[in-house]
Structure 1
Amino acid sequence: MMDKMSEKPKIVVVGAGAFGTALAAVAAATGNAQVTLLARRQEMVEECYRTRRNDAFLPGIPLPAELAFSSDTAALMDADIVLFAMPSQEHRAAARSYGARIGTDATVVTCAKGMEQSTGRLLTDVLDEELPGHKIGVLSGPGFAADIAKGLPTAMVVAARDSETATELAETLSGRTFRLYPSADRIGVQLGGALKNVLAIACGIVEGAGLGDSARAALISRGLAEMSRFVVAQGGEPDTVRGLSGLGDLVLTATSHQSRNLRFGIALGRDGPASGQGGELVEGAFAASVAARVAHDLGVDMPITEAVAAIIDGRLDVRTALEQLMSRPITQE
């Protein structure tokens, strides 16, 4: 990963939103690496240096003195690790925009939780295609940006094609309150992160419609079964689904009101699609439609995902969706 083993590795986090800022902060605080947060606007860079905060996305949370900020893409040229922390649907464009600046030996890690809507492809596949020759990894799991940035205990997963790269990434990025577990299952880690957002929307719909905690528990457990079927059909490992990037992330996102996907679902369940789409679509809204489409093509049964996609699109109301789910043929669990 590094050419000069005597030096600390250089990490550049692309995307100065809440999650990107949190990852940059926790990586800088470890002292394991030189970390730069790459923002689009120079005004943000100047404000972050002046206040040592990113109040636009993480209000009131101090950022470590070791963290550097820049709007100059030249920072990518000598990076050993590049974290892509922009939304999933922006990954291909970002890879094309920044690719020429990223050093040939750099490992690029996607930190988004989604699938490319236009192609149905995993984000690591998108980056493999757009950034040939680079090692491509994925970071995912149960962690809210504010909790990470505040130094609250958080455990997540980082996956790469080979265990050695995943372990190097985990050792470099982990700190006193932020622990990464290495994995070689990029497929399972990514699909867990994408599908838990869909299931969080489903749990939000249940809450917004006042259907009770028993319904939420059923959705979480049956949703996990859907996730496992989809992961296996895509070539991932079923055990990954039961770990941090699957079950762990699902429990967090489906039960905490910090989750934008859960809040989006609550609005859908309470007021219908018009309210749920009143603002920018959340990652789970994109993932629902693409996962339903890919699952259909693969012949994978995913009734909850299909119902969420139909509700978001306005093709199905909540009560009808519930009736359809509850009237499905009874089979062995």
Structure 2
Amino acid sequence: MIGVMGGGAFGSSLAITLARAGQEVVLWARDPAAMAARRESPRLPGIAFPDALRVTAAPGDLAGAEAILLAVPMQALAGLLEAHPGLWPGRTLVACCKGIDLARLTGPSHLISELAPGAVPAVLTGPSFAADIASGLPTALTLACAGEDAAGLQALLSTPTLRLYLTDDLAGAELGGALKNVVAIAAGAVIGAGLGDSARAAIMTRGFAEMARAAAHLGARPETLTGLSGFGDLVLTCTSEQSRNYRAGLALGRGAAPDPSMTVEGAATARAMARLAERAGLDLPVTRAVARLVDGDLSVAEALAALMARPLREE
């Protein structure tokens, strides 16, 4: 049995594709009554739950799971881990959220190690939209795990339409997934402000250079950032309006406020990464500009002027 904690679009989509592939899946959600009655998620209308998928509000129903997928927003992960300490020992916990915890300035695998001692941390990340996964469209993701049975976990979570590539570089996988959201906000702001596709390409390229620089400083392997969890996810989120972070950037570029009901992980990640960069003396101008942009301390025009006025240098 596989457990999924988080009844949002992404958690539901993973539960659906795993159950469709024949796995017994228990999906924990805060308010599962409507989902259980209608046998579908309100975030994924029209996509029926397979018979092998059971919805529950009781965390104890996941006690027999071989692995538990943690599909809650990054800033809610610490609270979830602290709320259910008896559920974690001896289990593989797969973080499916992307970002950096604002209070601790660490990624999800570090939170699992700190708050769920005795659990095996893993990270599932890469270029994907929940609707595509739930609809059975082909998707490839990175599974990062350093446990002894990482290959077994890869086999457990793979389906005919969900292909997982394995790495033991947890830091690289989670940083790629986190930092690309910051660049996606910047790319959306560029397009929202009418600055054109050439400017977006420049932001994506220089943003990726920042991602690689920050990840190397934090102990990740550079080649991990060139894979699905870094470059692949960057391309997807910087070019599609299905991306919440890109849509938030579009709104900011147009002088509007992003939808307050929408989780924009890149905003918190930009703030956290700007603090980390200042502490470490890292030069991350795009990240710093996005942090000030989402806080309302900088306009898109001011951010562009600052970036264009930086000293000329070699690439």
Q: TM-score range by the shorter chain?
A: over 0.9
1:83 aligns with 2:65: no
- 1:38 is matched with 28
Distance 1:280 1:305, change over 3 A: same
Number of residues paired by the alignment?
315
- 2:199 is matched with 215
Distance 1:174 1:281, change over 3 A: closer
1:125 aligns with 2:110: yes
Distance 2:237 2:292 in 1: 21
Equivalent pair of 1:28/1:64 in contact (CA under 8 Å):
yes
SS at match of 2:166: strand
Distance 1:280 1:245 in 2: 22
SS at match of 1:37: strand
Distance 1:39 1:281, change over 3 A: closer
Choose the corresponding residue for 2:48, options 42, 62, 80: 62
Distance 1:202 1:217 in 2: 11
In the TM superposition, what are the counterparts of 1:235-250 in structure 2 within 5 Å? 235-250=219-234
- 1:5 is matched with none
Distance 1:260 1:62, change over 3 A: same
- 2:7 is matched with 16
Distance 1:244 1:290 in 2: 23
1:284 aligns with 2:241: no
Distance 2:78 2:95 in 1: 11
Distance 2:150 2:177 in 1: 17
- 2:282 is matched with 300
Distance 2:249 2:30 in 1: 31
Distance 1:198 1:165 in 2: 33
How many angstroms does 1:96 deviate by? 1.2
How many angstroms does 1:46 deviate by? 3.0
Distance 1:278 1:94 in 2: 22
Distance 1:184 1:239 in 2: 12
Q: CA RMSD in A?
A: 1.3
How many angstroms does 1:150 deviate by? 0.2
Equivalent pair of 1:45/1:70 in contact (CA under 8 Å):
no
Choose the corresponding residue for 2:40, options 37, 53, 60: 53
Equivalent pair of 2:190/2:253 in contact (CA under 8 Å):
yes
Distance 1:78 1:254, change over 3 A: same
How many angstroms does 1:40 deviate by? 1.5
- 2:313 is matched with 331
TM-score by length of 2: 0.97
List alignment gaps of at least 5 residues for structure 1. Answer: 1-9
Q: 309-318 or 68-77: which moved more?
A: 68-77
How many angstroms does 1:105 deviate by? 2.2
Which residue identity lines up with residue 97 of structure 1 in the other structure?
Answer: A
Equivalent pair of 2:16/2:49 in contact (CA under 8 Å):
yes
How many angstroms does 1:88 deviate by? 0.3
Distance 1:288 1:153, change over 3 A: same
How many angstroms does 1:317 deviate by? 1.1
- 2:213 is matched with 229
- 1:318 is matched with 300
Equivalent pair of 1:80/1:105 in contact (CA under 8 Å):
no
Q: Over residues 36-79 of structure 1, what are the superposed CA-to-partner deviations in whole Å (9 max), with x where a residue is unaligned? A: 111112423532xxx3311x111111222221221122212211
TM-score by length of 1: 0.91
Q: Over residues 262-314 of structure 1, what are the superposed CA-to-partner deviations in whole Å (9 max), with x where a residue is unaligned? A: 11000000015xx1364445101110100111111112111001001111111
Distance 1:311 1:240 in 2: 28
Distance 2:34 2:127 in 1: 28
How many angstroms does 1:15 deviate by? 0.6
Q: Equivalent pairs: percent with the same residue?
A: 46
Distance 2:34 2:214 in 1: 40
Distance 1:143 1:165 in 2: 25
Q: 275-284 or 171-180: which moved more?
A: 275-284
List alignment gaps of at least 5 residues for structure 2. Answer: none
Q: Over residues 154-194 of structure 1, what are the superposed CA-to-partner deviations in whole Å (9 max), with x where a residue is unaligned? A: 000110124x4332221111111101111101001001111
Distance 1:153 1:176 in 2: 8
Which residue identity lines up with residue 139 of structure 1 in the other structure?
Answer: L
Distance 2:158 2:115 in 1: 28
Q: 142-151 or 76-85: which moved more?
A: 76-85
